[in-house]
Structure 1
């Protein structure tokens, strides 16, 4: 079998693809991952930035629509319900995006630790907010619930959209001949 010379328009050779740390001692990359190709960090950060921008647009629209609708439906308590709902949706959805953006260039163990910690913290904070608000009567509960649900479910849909539209490679070519 003859060896083929690579053309300029072909995919980069494995040596040109960024890889996890080398063989140097003290590397924080586990032994089994050394030499494996990786997705450049800026690619992941671009997806998370797109998701964050989409969340900001969603919550801005929810604020612009929720406050007047809250006023029409329930007056002052409706406005407070919409405002609180947007704040809770921001805390609930924003922490996930922030933690992924923050750890996009970190190793997988750090990413999982930060994401899990952020998830636990927001669950505790969410429960505290609900317990504190349970006895309050200055806001409209139904409007609060609807705004939170639209914000959180909408954010999940937009996250899925951002990931599907992001230009993150699914595979890294290992061999040109394949």
Structure 2
């Protein structure tokens, strides 16, 4: 009696490799993260210049200070994420998760400390700070996405 669902013959040779070694993949990952860091630093520079000018026009010196504090927080938050990813290229997923989670917890602690220190102070405009920080966070996420999209990284390890 024959099997109604024949199993296809297994090839004698494995499928052709992708041609990329682990080192080449890691080099592409590092290049992509450098591109993301460069883009983020340019974004922060634009936040300082444009946000500072708009903040100065909208709320005077307090608006300028709000923009500068917001840009500094955005730089810290965005650069910490990229830095933690750069430190874990080629490491195990567990090590990567640990470093990224540790960086995230450090960011939350820094944010809480900054908010506690700034509470009740009147040298900055909190609305300008919020807008600049929000633009920095959203802009950084979009720039990170663009860096990953343009890197043409493989979905699976070779």
2:21 matched residue in structure 1:
18
1:110-129 equivalences under 5 Å are: 110-129=95-114
2:59 matched residue in structure 1:
74
Larger helix percent? 2
Does residue 164 in structure 1 map to residue 149 in structure 2? yes
Which consecutive segments of 4 or more residues in structure 1 shift more than 6 A?
none
Query: What is the distance in 1 between the residues matched to 2:18 and 2:131?
Result: 52
Q: Deviations over 1:10-36 (max 9, x none)?
A: xx94496536xxxxxxxxxxxxxxxxx
Query: What is the distance in 2 between the residues matched to 1:16 and 1:77?
Result: 56
Does residue 91 in structure 1 map to residue 76 in structure 2? yes
Please, what TM-score do these two structures have when normalized by structure 1?
Answer: 0.75
Question: Does the C-alpha gap of structure 1 residues 42 and 137 become closer, same or farther in structure 2, counting only changes over 3 Å?
Answer: same
Please, what TM-score do these two structures have when normalized by structure 2?
Answer: 0.83
Query: What is the distance in 2 between the residues matched to 1:56 and 1:107?
Result: 28
Query: What is the distance in 1 between the residues matched to 2:133 and 2:18?
Result: 48
Question: Does the C-alpha gap of structure 1 residues 40 and 15 become closer, same or farther in structure 2, counting only changes over 3 Å?
Answer: closer
Q: 1:134 aligns with which of 110, 119, 131?
A: 119
Q: Deviations over 1:135-169 (max 9, x none)?
A: 11100111000000000111011111111111211
Query: What is the distance in 1 between the residues matched to 2:19 and 2:133?
Result: 46
Question: Does the C-alpha gap of structure 1 residues 108 and 172 become closer, same or farther in structure 2, counting only changes over 3 Å?
Answer: closer
User: Where does structure 1 lack aligned partners over 5 or more consecutive residues?
Assistant: 5-11, 20-37, 174-178
- Give me the CA root mean square deviation: 2.5
| Number of equivalenced pairs | 148
